[in-house]
Amino acid sequence: MYKVHCLNNISPVGLALLDDDFELTESLDEADAILVRSANMHEMELPESLKCVARAGAGVNNIPLEALAERGIPVFNTPGANANAVKELVLAALLLASRDIVGGVAWCRANAEDEAIGKAAEKAKKQFAGGEIMGKTLGVIGLGAIGRLVVQAAEALGMDVIGYDPGLPADAAAQISPTLQVTEDLGELYGASDFITIHVPALPSTKGMIGAAALAAMKDGVAFLNFSRDTLVDDEAMAQALEQGKVACYVTDFANPAVMAMKNALVIPHLGASTAEAEDNCAKMAVAEVMDYLKTGTKTHCVNL
């Protein structure tokens, strides 16, 4: 009997797939497998019994990959399982960035006691006016599971899209969309885009990639969206770009003290994959990976071995 320990709440829809060869345990010390979402495992003392770890999500920066690899313990993730949820929030962010919906809602709340609010709103609404996304250019950095869905959805909304992904062959890019413009030059994307969204993993090579030089190469008044990882953006450089108006709006899914102090930053509390459907999908994939490995040795979406 294999024992599975959950470090976070894992969707019951996924856990229900565990068959009679598996049982859940409250004790980490006896776990054969760990299911995790956001819990930080780097400082944990992991048991000798541990045979595999599955992350119910795509990012694995909360897991000590190298240390587990040295012990021969595979780590699995669930790429694509939450892609639609993130894509939908990116679409919402495009609209939030193009029109001052947040400011308008706040005005209505602040004037809730005004019996003539309808009349007052007609005078006030001009301060919240914005633009439309149709006909604008969206730059998509990273054309993986999420990026490709964003491309297709943005084009369906009438946007022109330019994509960048040096690891993607030209024929694979063409399969995303025949009208997608793909560039091998990030500078070209920066200069052409009215909106930019980033969808790349957090790696040493991508840390701070959106820094002063990248921001300077962007169009004046660009809106930048970050639903990947906070470490991709240099907070100091972004704060300065927002203050100067180089970046009109920064929408990020990652709250920290630096972004909370930024002018014209819309900060969301990491809701990208926070839908019931995404949690179910991630849990089902993670459970299947654990079962396949412990029963047959099959490594699906292994990220460290």
Domain ranges of the chain: 2-81+275-296, 83-267
Stretch 133-146: mean pLDDT, rounded? Answer: 97
pLDDT in tens, 107-130: 999 999 999 999 999 999 999 999
Q: If you write DSSP's letter for every residue of 108-147 in order, what string do you get?
A: HHHTTT-TTHHHHHHHHGGGG----STT-EEEEE--SHHH
- Residues 224, 210 contacting (CB under 8 angstroms): yes
Mean residue pLDDT of the chain comes to 96
Superfamily of domain 2-81+275-296: NAD(P)-binding Rossmann-like Domain (3.40.50.720)
- 220 falls in which pLDDT band (50, 70, 90)? very high
For residue 171, what pLDDT is reported?
Answer: 85
pLDDT in tens, 145-197: 999 999 999 999 999 999 999 988 888 888 999 999 999 999 999 999 999 99
Stretch 278-294: mean pLDDT, rounded? Answer: 97
Q: Structure tokens of 246?
A: 């180089």
- 202 falls in which pLDDT band (50, 70, 90)? confident
Backbone angles phi, psi at 155, to 5 degrees: -65, -35
Backbone angles phi, psi at 176, to 5 degrees: -65, -50
Other CB atoms within 10 A of residue 278 CB: 22
Tell me which of 233 and 273 has the higher pLDDT: 233
What strands lie across the sheet with 265-267, from one edge to the other?
181-182, 160-164, 137-141, 195-198, 222-226, 247-252, 265-267
What single-letter DSSP state applies at residue 286?
A: H
What's the burial of 179, exposed, middle or buried (CB within 10 Å: 0-12/13-18/19+)? exposed
Q: Which fold has domain 83-267?
A: Rossmann fold (3.40.50)
**What percentage of the chain has pLDDT greater than the value 90?**
94
Q: CATH topology of 2-81+275-296 equal to that of 83-267?
A: yes
For residue 50, what pLDDT is reported?
Answer: 98
